[in-house]
Chain A
Amino acid sequence: MNDVFSLREMSRALADGQVSSLELTQDHLARVKEVDSRLNSFITLTEETAIAHATAADTLRGQGDKRPTLGLPMAHKDIFCTEGTLTTAGSKMLSNFVAPYDATVVTKMADAGMVSVGKTNMDEFAMGSSNENSYFGPVTNPWDTDRVPGGSSGGSAAAVAAGLVAGATGTDTGGSIRQPAALCGITGLKPTYGRVSRFGMIAFASSLDQAGPMTRNAEDAALMLSVMAGFDPKDSTSANRDDAWLADVLHHGIAELERPAVIGLPDQYYENSGNQESLAEARRELEKLGHTFKSVSLPHTDAAIPVYYVLASAEASTNLSRYDGVRYGHRCENPTSLQDLYERSREEGFGDEVKRRILTGTYTLSVGYFDAYYLKAQKIRRLIAQDFDKAFADVDLLLTPTSPTPAFHKGQLTDDPVAMYQQDLYTVPTSLAGLPAMSIPCGFSQGLPMGMQLIAPAFREDLALGLAAQFQRHTDWHLKRPGESN
């Protein structure tokens, strides 16, 4: 039954006493056990704690606790530290790491009464666009078992798409929530940088990493965001804001847009997109709803991918220095010296893509190359952000494809990292600008779901969510499930 349930629907069913959190949780766990040997979307199932938390939620509800999130089952990407539970970041390096503390996001969701059933699979240290870089094996796209779910939050995306959970956390550095959301036909939101605390979220690229919800629809994304968001004194980069709409969303759902939106269509995003048809149809639908379109230019879009790979790799190269085999994580057998301990522990513990980025990042930060790569990339990053500023002077939101192609075949791009990096073509610029962006389903191509991306000005997730919710009230792309005809 949970296959058709969204978080909101479950919330209502719980409130009406039609079902208990324990029943829902057991149902979810059973479905994961039944289906996931095929999908491999989970690394760890936390059955015991899930049952305990669900039981506790039911007790609270019995005592009159009416919070809409109480007792809702969900899952965490395995990049969030969870106290007492294996936290791997998809890496052999952390394949034995049991976190001694909870990430702020984990704490917030637990405090809201949500029940985590487990930790989802991901590309190692969130580096990848296909979920083929996981030490725990690739994840399968529920729409086509030969295809990838996208990455790096591929486990969360596949689990939501397959109905194993209605909501899962993801993280997005250059598209890691939005691209797998698009490839799996679900809704994924990368909030504004600083909206959600990064404390306890294993770092890939600190200036870009941002956690967000992956759900079946915009309403659920808003519900999860309202729980995940908020200033955290433990994260110096988290934003200290008081947006009333975030609190309202929790109890009243997404508010209607105050007026029809002026939606910008960035020229540079439509030049080579393979997603013209479904986007055109979405546009017609939005026009019917009274929104208008305007073409805009984001002239530095071409530079975004190289800039991103310079900056993200630079940050990653030092963020990952702590994995040295000394205090925790993988340690090589019988090290003969400190140097040997470092070299072999890291050689054995990291996968190829992670090593590639550590090498790239180390190179671009080195004396003699720093100015030409890192500094230059920072300058272009500012130009990219300015492009968006200018565009948002004229329009409320931007509408673009989320990814250049629908889900591709497993192994198709693994030997061509640069082609793989192109998967992030449309998602990376917003990451560099720190802007909120979401992907929602907008049609199908070759029987595979396609996503469209809504980009909003900083801290205006409400605009993207408002438009997405309205779109989803008038379309049913987000209701399509794998295995049904479409």
Chain B
Amino acid sequence: MSWEAVIGLEIHVQLATRSKIFSGASTAYGASPNAQACNIDLGLPGVLPVLNEQAVEMAVRFGLAIGAQINLHSIFDRKNYFYADLPKGYQISQFETPIVGEGSITITPETGSPRTVGITRAHLEEDAGKSIHDLYSGQTAIDLNRTGTPLLEVVSEPDMRTAQEASAYFRQIHTLARYIGICDGNLAEGSMRCDANVSVRPSGLAEFGERTEIKNINSFRFVEQAIEHEIARQIDVLESGGKIHRETRLYDPDKDETRSMRSKELSNDYRYFPDPDLMPLNISEEFVAQVRGTLPELPHARCQRYCDDLGLPAGDAETISSDIDRATYFDQTIEAGASPKQAANWLMGELSAYLNRHATDIADSPVTPTQMAQLIQRIEDGTLSSKTAKTLFDALWEAGADNSAGTRVDALIDSLNLAQVSDDGALTQIIDDLITANPKQFEELRGGKDKMLGFFVGQVMKATQGKANPQQVNEIIRSKL
């Protein structure tokens, strides 16, 4: 029998607000344990939550970016359960009335064609703290710094059919969240985590099989591996006559397996009810319009524009548009006068290699978009050869890294003596000398042996330390024939 998997993801996007969702404590990562847990985060007697408006704005940004309905009226509920890193004994979340309603997003899996994944809803909630079980033997350490960090939980429809699609979807949400500035996207620090709901059914069957939920996956690779593994496990169970039980499973990347965490039948009754400490959240059409006005051009639209208006190949357009900082750099380079194709090549070639090598974000690139544009212009007007351009780029990088940003490209070309020799007289003199020195080779060229053209061009380049304009050299040699 052939099987089909059905996958839905719940992605927790940690919002990049300065302070927590219901308190003024800082959300900065990496502070010493419990240093960023204020009275409210600690759940002291008598404290009350006050909603962080920045979190609301970010949720609306996301909603607009996925073309979702924004609910002008939404409600915060208490989700009640006891855990040592949940100070109040309840988590403030949105249950029946989330701020973001139905939307969708287009994904492009590595194999397969682009497809649309439905997003059921996205709601605001607070994160819990961390329990650290392996620090002290027989004891659990609690760090409440993360308590109250704002999360946007994005719930997808069960629209994905392969682990690759799920991973592509996770990536796409990641790209989008970084794009619209609501999340730093740092997976290693837990800025984005997901739970995957997975079931399998015989191909062609309309109804879903029983599903399991894999909790807390925090990398694109693990999403794919975990789902892959879980699909295989479920098929094994079903093919050997067993049944899938509704349960929560945990993915262990070291062993590449999922294992049961708890059975859903025994799960908590969370006793959701509206939090009486918070008024219903009412936002205005004007507020939504205002947020809409601050949205950047989104990845999909940008990619389209790069293809249609700038004539970039689809692959290049996709690569550049998928990261907001890269896209911004690209746009600024074009604006400063570079041709799109050259800009794309440099961005994905030399610049990208340097950034990788120096582990530098493009936003912090020592070579500015303006410098990059000037460099490209000097290639196009023949001042630089592709070889000298690379030398110049290296010099610009070093100068920029030395914090002498704003180094003028033309001045650097002069001081490094990188300009191509385009002086006809000077080149003709060099070529004449070469012909005199190599009469045999010249005769062969004259006799129709075109290979010899390369020899002479090479010799000219050698004589000019690569600064001769190859095209011009060609022309002069041909004129001698």
A interface, CB within 8 angstroms of B? 80-81, 87, 89, 94, 97, 99-101, 103, 198-203, 205-207, 233-237, 314-315, 317-318, 321-322, 324, 326-328, 338, 342, 362, 365-367, 370, 374
**Stretch binding the partner chain, chosen from B201-209, B273-281, B469-477:** B273-281
Residues of B within 8 A of A318 (CB): 78, 80, 89-90, 271, 273
The answer to whether A207 and B90 touch across the interface, beta carbons within 8 angstroms, is no
**Known contacts A100-B39, A318-B78, A366-B271; is-contact A202 B87 (Cβ 8 Å):** no
Q: B43 at interface (Cβ–Cβ under 8 A)?
A: yes
Q: B45 at interface (Cβ–Cβ under 8 A)?
A: yes
Residues 29-47 of chain B, each 1 if its beta carbon lies under 8 Å from chain A, else 0: 0000000000100111111
The answer to whether B39 and A236 touch across the interface, beta carbons within 8 angstroms, is no
Residues of A within 8 A of B46 (CB): 80-81, 99, 103, 198-203
Residues of B within 8 A of A87 (CB): 45
Residues of A within 8 A of B88 (CB): 321-322
Q: How far is the CB of A171 from chain B (nearest CB, A)?
A: 11
The answer to whether A236 and B48 touch across the interface, beta carbons within 8 angstroms, is yes
Residues of B within 8 A of A374 (CB): 273
The answer to whether A321 and B45 touch across the interface, beta carbons within 8 angstroms, is no
The answer to whether B89 and A236 touch across the interface, beta carbons within 8 angstroms, is no
What count of chain B residues pass the 8 Å CB interface test? Answer: 31
Q: Which residue of B lies closest to A375 (CB)?
A: B273
What is the bound-complex CA distance between A103 and B275, given in angstroms?
21
What is the bound-complex CA distance between A341 and B80, given in angstroms?
18
Q: How far is the CB of A87 from chain B (nearest CB, A)?
A: 7
Contact residues of A: prevailing secondary structure: loop
Q: How far is the CB of A233 from chain B (nearest CB, A)?
A: 7
Interface residues of B in 1-54 (CB under 8 A from A): 39, 42-51
Q: Which residue of A lies closest to B78 (CB)?
A: A318
Most chain A CB neighbours (cut-off 10 Å) among B46, B82, B87, B279: B46
What is the bound-complex CA distance between A84 and B97, given in angstroms?
41
The answer to whether A101 and B45 touch across the interface, beta carbons within 8 angstroms, is no
The answer to whether B44 and A100 touch across the interface, beta carbons within 8 angstroms, is yes
Q: A207-B276, A367-B269 are in contact. List 17 more A-B contacts (CB 8 A).
A: A89-B45, A99-B45, A103-B46, A200-B46, A201-B46, A202-B46, A203-B277, A206-B277, A234-B48, A236-B277, A237-B278, A317-B271, A318-B273, A321-B82, A338-B140, A342-B82, A362-B271
Interface residues of B in 223-248 (CB under 8 A from A): none
Q: How far is the CB of B78 from chain A (nearest CB, A)?
A: 5
**Known contacts A100-B44, A321-B82, A338-B84; is-contact A236 B49 (Cβ 8 Å):** yes
The answer to whether B269 and A366 touch across the interface, beta carbons within 8 angstroms, is yes
Q: How far is the CB of A266 from chain B (nearest CB, A)?
A: 27
Residues of B within 8 A of A326 (CB): 84, 87, 142
**Known contacts A324-B89, A342-B82; is-contact A236 B276 (Cβ 8 Å):** no
**Known contacts A318-B78, A365-B271; is-contact A328 B44 (Cβ 8 Å):** yes
Residues of A within 8 A of B272 (CB): 365
Residues of B within 8 A of A235 (CB): 48, 50
What is the bound-complex CA distance between A100 and B47, given in angstroms?
11
Residues of A within 8 A of B275 (CB): 206
The answer to whether A322 and B50 touch across the interface, beta carbons within 8 angstroms, is no
Most chain B CB neighbours (cut-off 10 Å) among A89, A327, A367: A327
Residues of B within 8 A of A103 (CB): 46
What is the bound-complex CA distance between A101 and B50, given in angstroms?
17
The answer to whether B50 and A236 touch across the interface, beta carbons within 8 angstroms, is yes
What are 13 inter-chain pairs, A to B, with CB distance below 8 A?
Answer: A80-B46, A97-B45, A199-B47, A207-B276, A236-B49, A237-B278, A237-B279, A321-B88, A324-B84, A324-B89, A327-B87, A338-B83, A365-B271
Interface residues of B in 348-373 (CB under 8 A from A): none
Residues of B within 8 A of A80 (CB): 46
The answer to whether A321 and B276 touch across the interface, beta carbons within 8 angstroms, is no
What is the bound-complex CA distance between A237 and B277, given in angstroms?
7
Q: Which residue of B lies closest to A91 (CB)?
A: B45
What is the bound-complex CA distance between A206 and B48, given in angstroms?
10
The answer to whether B45 and A236 touch across the interface, beta carbons within 8 angstroms, is no
A-B pairs, 9 with minimum CB distance: A321-B89, A206-B276, A207-B276, A365-B271, A200-B46, A322-B43, A202-B45, A81-B46, A322-B88
Residues 378-415 of chain B, each 1 if its beta carbon lies under 8 Å from chain A, else 0: 00000000000000000000000000000000000000
The answer to whether A322 and B89 touch across the interface, beta carbons within 8 angstroms, is yes
Residues of B within 8 A of A328 (CB): 44
Q: Which residue of A lies closest to B79 (CB)?
A: A318
Interface residues of B in 271-305 (CB under 8 A from A): 271-273, 275-279
Q: How far is the CB of B93 from chain A (nearest CB, A)?
A: 13
Q: How far is the CB of A228 from chain B (nearest CB, A)?
A: 15
Q: How far is the CB of B77 from chain A (nearest CB, A)?
A: 11
Q: Which residue of A lies closest to B81 (CB)?
A: A321
**Known contacts A318-B271, A365-B271; is-contact A81 B276 (Cβ 8 Å):** no
Residues of A within 8 A of B48 (CB): 198-199, 234-237
The answer to whether B51 and A236 touch across the interface, beta carbons within 8 angstroms, is yes
Residues of B within 8 A of A367 (CB): 269, 271
Q: How far is the CB of A88 from chain B (nearest CB, A)?
A: 10
The answer to whether A327 and B273 touch across the interface, beta carbons within 8 angstroms, is no
Q: How far is the CB of A109 from chain B (nearest CB, A)?
A: 15
The answer to whether A314 and B273 touch across the interface, beta carbons within 8 angstroms, is yes
What is the bound-complex CA distance between A236 and B53, given in angstroms?
13
Residues of A within 8 A of B78 (CB): 318
What is the bound-complex CA distance between A236 and B78, given in angstroms?
16
Residues of B within 8 A of A324 (CB): 82, 84, 89
What is the bound-complex CA distance between A317 and B89, given in angstroms?
10
Most chain A CB neighbours (cut-off 10 Å) among B39, B50, B51, B89: B89
Q: Which residue of B lies closest to A366 (CB)?
A: B269
What is the bound-complex CA distance between A81 and B273, given in angstroms?
27
Residues 63-88 of chain B, each 1 if its beta carbon lies under 8 Å from chain A, else 0: 00000000000000010101110011
